[in-house]
């Protein structure tokens, strides 16, 4: 990824930031929170993610042919007054739209999720926090985690940081992640590429996944 500010980018590169991790040998694709509450612009947490969905779907198509593991995530709250969201519910009122059993927590139908593609149900930003996701990846001996979904500055970023901390090669697909605010999206991609992940293109990702097909 190219830094969006040449002077700032040069400063970071001179200090050794933004080195390339590179794809590994055993990938999995994670689609983060592309659910009704986030893809409906009329809802408090929603925004237009049409292009993100299109690009994510193109990656899923290749991953499915190559038999690469695919995971989805969603947020779901079951307790009265969404107490299971903890302090986060104080910070974000829109979490009330993420009640268990409602259409808002379902994966967007345009992605055509298959029954063999697990959904990781979480309460907080990172897909790793409070879930069995890392155990699932270790069982499959995954070393590369390809991230798509939303939001870049929230759940994508939190998951990427945790993924690195768990020893994974994290790849954030820049055209396949989105946010409600462009500045937040761009700054998060800058930070992720500088310190925690490789920010890669859809084409790079698909070319890599195509090579996984046996």
Active site residue 155: yes
Backbone torsion region of residue 129, taken as left when φ is above 0, otherwise alpha when ψ lies between -120 and 50, otherwise beta: beta
Q: What's the rounded Cα separation, in Å, for the pair 62 and 126?
A: 25
Among 36, 62, 60, CA closest to 49: 36
- What are the backbone angles phi and psi of residue 156, rounded to the nearest 5°? -65, -50
What SS3 class is residue 186?
A: helix
Residue located via tokens 């990781």: 120
Measured CA to CA, the distance from residue 77 to residue 21 in angstroms comes to 36
Dihedral sign computed on CA atoms, order 23, 147, 137, 85: positive
| Cβ(206)–Cβ(170) below 8 Å | no
Q: Which helix (H) or strand (E) holds 210?
A: helix 202-210
Of these residues, 31, 125, 155, 176, which one is catalytic?
Answer: 155
Active site residues: 155
């Amino acid at each position: 990824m190219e830094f969006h500010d040449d002077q700032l980018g040069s400063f970071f590169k001179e200090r050794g930031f933004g080195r390339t991790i590179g794809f590994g040998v055993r990938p999995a694709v994670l689609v983060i929170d592309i659910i009704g509450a986030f893809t409906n612009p009329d809802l408090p947490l929603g925004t237009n993610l049409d292009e993100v969905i299109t690009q994510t779907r193109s990656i899923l198509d290749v991953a499915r042919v190559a038999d690469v593991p695919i995971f989805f995530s969603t947020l779901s709250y079951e307790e009265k007054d969404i107490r299971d969201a903890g302090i986060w519910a104080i910070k974000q009122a829109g979490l009330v739209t993420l009640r268990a059993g409602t259409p808002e927590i379902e994966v967007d139908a345009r992605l055509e999720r298959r029954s063999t593609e697990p959904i990781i149900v979480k309460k907080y930003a990172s897909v790793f926090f409070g879930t069995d996701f890392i155990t699932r990846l270790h069982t499959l001996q995954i070393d590369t985690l390809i991230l798509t979904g939303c939001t870049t500055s929230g759940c994508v970023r939190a998951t990427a940081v945790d993924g690195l901390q768990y020893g994974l090669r994290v790849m954030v697909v820049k055209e396949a992640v989105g946010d409600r605010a462009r500045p937040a999206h761009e700054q998060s991609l800058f930070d992720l590429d500088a310190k925690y992940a490789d920010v890669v293109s859809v084409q790079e990702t698909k070319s890599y996944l195509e090579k996984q097909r046996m």
